[in-house]
Amino acid sequence: MNTLSNGDYVVFFIYFIIVSLYGYWIYKRKHNADATSKDYFLAEGSLTWWAIGASLIASNISAEQFIGTSGSAFKMGLAISTYEWMAAATLIIVAVFFIPIYLKNKIFTMPQFLNQRYNGTVAMVMAIFWLLLYIVVNLMSILYLGALAISGISGIDITVCITLLAIFAVFITLGGMKVIGYTDVIQVFVLILGGLVATYLALNLISEKSGTTGLWNGLTIMRTEAADHFHMIFKKDNANYMDMPGLSVLIGGMIIVNLNYWGCNQYITQRALGADLKTARAGLLFAAFLKLLMPVIVVLPGIAAYLLYQKGMFHQEMMSSKGIMDPNKAYPSLLNLLPTYLKGLSFAALTAAIVASLAGKANSIATIFTLDIYKKAINPEATEKSLVKLGKWSVVVAMALGVIMSLLIGEQLMGEGKQGFQYIQEYTGFVSPGIFAMFILGFFWKKATSNGALFATIGGFCFSVLFKFLPRFANLEWLNQFGFSKLNDKGVYEIPFIDRMGFVFLLCVLGMWIISKIDLAKGVKPNGLEIDASMFKPSRAFTAGALIVGGIIVALYSFFW
């Protein structure tokens, strides 16, 4: 039944009150009327390792995971977990190689890095790119998918859900990064607890349907009866190959997706940039361990919903208004089976994930607009107090734009049977190869010039668009023999978007190398970064933790290959 009982509302409001009061207490305890913009946006020196790690996960795990990833798990199975498990490995790489460079060079925002390493033009172009990406793709998708799920569970109109989510997120965001960081500790606890409850219910249901009891029996039955949903690497004849193209999820475009997201993304790195190196690394390692757990919460329920669907459940609940089976409704359909109080807990967990992610995204939007656009190009003489005030207004405006777009075009892009998670990944991938090429060469090749970076920024986007629409003008069947194209559902040979990102990245690196070489021949002197090889050496404790994470990932891929 798509309604919440009074008991469920009680549980939800307890969560709401606890988060709100704790956030207010943090704000009052740590608020300084003369706080600088960096203190407000980055919580400079205030977040502990566990707060950094929890905030990273709370901001990352949102509607696109609970709803989008579960929907993709319903359709393709465990393979979608590669986004989570590869992220765990990526967090280790970022902690060892990326964060030391940022902290050594006192980098607080990604456009600041580009300005310092290249020039103001590159930084400004990318600042605008990021603002558009965060608002048009991320903010809108989180609001729409989150509201879709909450509406499916509670029966509340989706427009009301979108509006209330935005208001709650603004309330949290206006307190600054300190409030976001510490309330995220509660949020991540609630979302993991609530997520585990949903997984428990799903596995128990499968056991009961087969005349047994127990979680292990449920998992065993699921692995036996939905065996095709427990492979991590797809072969070319798999119907889902376009979304997860074979080994590319290990050695191809997936690496670019993750390294760009976790290492070159204001929304994520912002949590660690205000800390010292030891604290930042510990926080990222903690986040890596939490990432290993995420498929239990967001993937297994989707596979369980698939099996229950095959057994005759959810047929009506998972139909869209146009009679199309909608994978995005898999997770809400499961939650609707929970008893009173537990349903309220899972509802709170889902809300926690959405609000935490919205708050983190809105804070990053405000940071980039205020520090990298307004202060740099519009009013360089702005006072710290005026920057903080403008940042708060930026949060409100960005959230309002997200609400408007989710109401106007959310359904067209992510509704009616579409995989919301794949939408986010594909359209973020239009800019990520160029961004990552610019960052990785900027880090480790001192000869990379600003003209080369500008090529990667604009050229990367243009190449992505070209590869996306190329099948309309050219027959790419010849690429099929190399495993780089596949017949899509429209009967056209298309390059999987993960492979497209790999190709675009290589083109951007090649273009940057050629242009930088030409610039060097003309006497252009690039701006190098301060790098000391000793800063890449991690502590023994971090190394031990990283080896454990790596060992678990190898074991998981070996077992579920």
Backbone phi, psi, residue 425, to 5°: -65, -45
Highest mean pLDDT among 40-54, 345-359, 375-389, 444-458: 444-458
**DSSP code for 481:** G
Cβ-proximal residues to 555 (8 Å cutoff; 6+ apart), any chain: none
Is the pLDDT assigned to residue 38 strictly greater than 60? no
Q: For position 551, what pLDDT does the model report? A: 93
**How many Cβ atoms from other residues are within 10 Å of residue 150's Cβ?**
26
Q: For position 552, what pLDDT does the model report? A: 93
Is the pLDDT assigned to residue 16 strictly greater than 90? no
284's tokens: 């990222």
Q: What is the pTM of this model?
A: 0.79
Is the pLDDT assigned to residue 322 strictly greater than 70? no
- Asked which of 181-195, 202-216, 333-347, 431-445 is least confident by mean pLDDT, the reply is 181-195
Per domain, the residue ranges of the chain are 41-428+531-560
Give tens-digit pLDDT for 79-109. 888 888 988 999 999 999 888 888 888 887 7
C-alpha 552: how far from its chain's center?
22
Average pLDDT of the segment spanning 463-489: 73
d(CA 401, CA 160): 16
Give tens-digit pLDDT for 18-28. 777 777 776 66
Residue with the bigger pLDDT between 440 and 312: it is 440
Backbone phi, psi, residue 496, to 5°: -55, 140
Q: For position 413, what pLDDT does the model report? A: 62
Is the pLDDT assigned to residue 550 strictly greater than 80? yes
Is the pLDDT assigned to residue 437 strictly greater than 60? yes
Average pLDDT of the segment spanning 325-333: 74
Any idea which architecture 41-428+531-560 has in CATH? Answer: Up-down Bundle (1.20)
